[in-house]
Amino acid sequence: MKSLYTDAVAVPDAGDVVDVINASAPAMPQESDALARARAFAEPLLSSETLGTGENTLAHADGAAAILRHIRGSDAMQAAVYLVYTCDHLHKPHEVLSKSFGPGYADLAMETTKLVRVQRMARISQGEQDDTSHLPQAQTAAAQTESVRKMLLAFSRDLRVVMLRLASRLQTLRYFAATKQTVPAALAAESLHVFAPLANRLGIWEIKWEMEDLAFRFLEPQTYKDIARLLDEKRVEREVGMETLRNQLAGDLRQQGIEAAVYGRPKHIYSIVKKMRGKSLGFDQLYDIRALRVVVPSISDCYAALSLVHNLFKPVVDEFDDYIARPKPNGYQSLHTVVRDSNERAIEVQIRTRAMHEHAEHGVAAHWAYKEAGSKGYGGQVTANSSYDAKIAVLRQLLAWERDLSGAAQNGANGLLDDRIYVLTPDAAVLELPQGATPVDFAYSVHTSVGNRCRGAKVDGVMVPLHTPLRNGQTVEVITAKDGGPSRDWLNPELGYLVSHRAKAKVRAWFNAQALDETIAKGREAVEKLLQREGKTALKLDDLAERLGFNSADALFEVVGKDEFSLRTIENLLRPPEPEPTAATETPVWRKSSNPAPKGGVLVVGVDSLMTQLAKCCKPAPPDVISGFVTRGKGVSVHRADCSNLRNMVARSPDRVIDVAWGSELGAAHYPVDVAVEAIDRQGLLRDISEVFTKEKMNVIGVQTQSVKGIAWMTFTVEVNNASRLQRVLKLVGELAGVKSARRR
């Protein structure tokens, strides 16, 4: 690729942050011939092999090692490049590499190999295949990229793993550029949105700039060519003019007694396109196509140099930024100004101190190393005493990078690195799970039906118990049954089957649905038996439910199964109405009584001493709001005003409703009422509930119980003289261990 520098003076390289990583890496034998031995070990295994990209594996390793050497990567790091690619060709790679090179090399090679596989598989699931049906539910390409970012961070406890991946990815992009092959879009996008921002955060600018331009060239080739052509058309004229300006400014600064290094700023196509798009500018409107950078010893020299620049050239109004007085949030400091030369051509000038320059070019890690050097100046070397602080600085950069790209607000390295793990499906999708998650958690994160039918699991091809904790980078395959559901043992925290709250909620939902299904089945059976007795089997169940005021047959079956709806109501609906009596045959519907307060304490308002009966479907009791319905031959049936049966009868015969009220002299009469209790079945449950009724002096005259898979459904019929007392009793029952609800039916 052509250089995009505006003159021949190069900016400082980014090897300093690599020194930090070299100094802070786990100890490994520093053998003088380690690199040569590693290449000799790898050559017979790799020389005839090719990567998935088509590149020769040994040539790729050579290229990645050269990139690391250019940014001052250690011999040990370069040697690890070759060992990484031998892992796929060794039967027991960790054991073989440990014996030949030591456990340090083996660990680094294995961790990097694992990450290579993870990202290769993630790219496939993200977009290299047209069929994305294998992705987990609601898994999008953006979410998948996010998971890859987090996974890369999770693998970065040994920062050299990151360095090896950056060098390998840049070599892959160079190979595609050299061979002019079509680049998979997922690989190019991952390079631009994952690897380049990471290199940026670590201050490895050479890799960052080149990776951005190459990835952008592959993703938007026409735009890349257009900008490159615009740069090339004016390159010669621009470089001649910039060299003249650079020499002029350097000389004027020396005359003013300011020691300054003046050089041109590198221009990169991707950064140009980003600025054009971000500010909606045309190419000719960019001020920094011509740009100079001035590096001086002190802050006072910065402002002295700025004054000189403004005297030599014409400043552009509103194009001055003082990032020294007001640093950017990431700590960046510099003076930015735009001026015009005698030909009215815009020139951007940046002025900063050496410390500011190192911080801007190499990130926080280099800035820390510079401060450690103190009065001796910055020599690009990290001493043993400063390596710990430098390592902390690099880790902070990794954490800041993850926050920038994923938007995750984490507190400290431990929370970020240790509270989540990232594992793979057999189809290469990356899934994020809580630390300690098991194959059952994994199964539910793929899909609810997969979790419900999970019966076994393989981790990295080996069968494991379902409560086995998973680790970063493992590939999990779930073995499922054709049907069936989860085990109740999965909800036992002591057995350790589930960690994810989401998975636990799905298991509970399954069992709740099963209990509802059984209730509906019970109600369906009761309704169908009734239809058989009445000879109405041809009647559609949905039509019956609609006539009774329900939205669906299942809604009817549910209340019947819970004994909350009387089958007598259905009988009344199914039986043909009796013929209306004629004047000759009419018989009285009710009889007179000499007692002003009829039996049961009910007074019929407006029609004295009517025959009455308390409805069994809702069992009213004082002081319930009540209503009467005139039946055929059985007097007035008294219902609670909120009774569903009454509502249905009134809808059919509104003229037969009659006002009723409780008599003023109720005496010591007792009324039966039903109490429905739902609870987790346990030993002694019936006894405990009965004791509550006994202590409250309520006589229990009937009990119905049913237990369905650990859930007890109980109906108590108790006698009360006043229904208002029942609220206190229901509250006491609801407080018993295992009771979910207690209510009056």
How many CA atoms lie within 13 Å of 720's alpha carbon, on the beta-carbon side?
Answer: 23
The pLDDT score that the predictor gives to residue 307 is: 92
Show which of 615, 633, 662 is a domain's final residue.
662
Q: Rounded to whole angstroms, how far apart are CA atoms 521 and 527?
A: 10
Residues 177 and 286 grouped into a single domain: no
Residues 679 and 656 grouped into a single domain: no
Q: Rounded to whole angstroms, how far apart are CA atoms 4 and 297?
A: 27
* DSSP assignment of 370-412: HHHHGGG---S---GGGHHHHHHHHHHHHHHHHHHHH-----H
- CA dihedral (590, 591, 595, 598) positive or negative: negative
Contact 182, 241 (CB under 8 A): no
Residues 43 and 167 grouped into a single domain: yes
Return the ∠ at Cα 132 (arms to 140 and 448), rounded to 5°: 70
Residues 167 and 83 grouped into a single domain: yes
* Spans of the chain below 50 pLDDT: 1-14, 16, 20, 23-24, 27, 127-141, 363-393, 395-396, 398-417, 581-600, 605-609
Phi, psi of 30 (to 5 degrees): -95, 75
Q: Rounded to whole angstroms, how far apart are CA atoms 660 and 637?
A: 10
Q: How far apart are the first and last CA of the chain?
A: 82
Residues 130 and 276 grouped into a single domain: no
Give me the residues paired with residue 321 across strands.
336
Q: Rounded to whole angstroms, how far apart are CA atoms 393 and 370?
A: 12
Which residue's structure tokens are 């060299």? 243
404 in any annotated domain: no
Give me the residues paired with residue 679 across strands.
712, 739
Give me the residues paired with residue 458 across strands.
463, 477
The pLDDT score that the predictor gives to residue 603 is: 58
Kindly give the interhelix angle for 644-652 and 567-574, rounded to the nearest 10 degrees: 10
Residues 246 and 187 grouped into a single domain: no
646 in any annotated domain: yes
452 in any annotated domain: no
480 in any annotated domain: no
Q: Hey, what amino acid is at 591? A: R
7 in any annotated domain: no
Structure tokens at 11: 């900016």
Nearest alpha carbon to residue 264 among 241, 296, 282: 241
Strand, helix or coil at 656? helix
Residues 165 and 262 grouped into a single domain: no
383, with CB counted inside 10 A (0-12, 13-18, 19+), is exposed
Residues 26 and 122 grouped into a single domain: yes
Residue 623, preceding bond cis, omega within 30 degrees? yes
462 in any annotated domain: no
Query: For position 177, which CATH number holds?
Result: 1.10.3210.10
Nearest alpha carbon to residue 125 among 144, 142, 138, 143: 144
421 in any annotated domain: no
Residues 361 and 237 grouped into a single domain: yes
CB burial string 93-118: b at 16+ within 10 A, e below: beebbbeebbebbbbbbbbbbbbbbb
Question: Is the pTM value of this prediction over 0.95?
Answer: no
520 in any annotated domain: yes
Residue 648 makes CB contacts below 8 A (sequence gap 6+) with 548, 549, 569, 573
CA distances from 388 to 75, 280, 379 (A): 21, 44, 18
The total number of structural domains in the chain stands at 5
Residues 365 and 287 grouped into a single domain: yes
Residues 215 and 283 grouped into a single domain: no
The pLDDT score that the predictor gives to residue 95 is: 87
Range of the domain at 315: 232-371
Structure tokens at 216: 């952008």
pLDDT tens-digit series, residues 5-30: 333 333 334 454 555 455 445 545 55
Residues 199 and 100 grouped into a single domain: yes
The pLDDT score that the predictor gives to residue 597 is: 42
Query: For position 702, which CATH number holds?
Result: 3.30.70.260
Helix or strand run (H / E) with residue 614: strand 612-614
Show which of 152, 185, 219 is a domain's final residue.
219
Phi, psi of 371 (to 5 degrees): -65, -35
DSSP label of 138: T
Show which of 616, 634, 662 is a domain's final residue.
662
The pLDDT score that the predictor gives to residue 594 is: 40
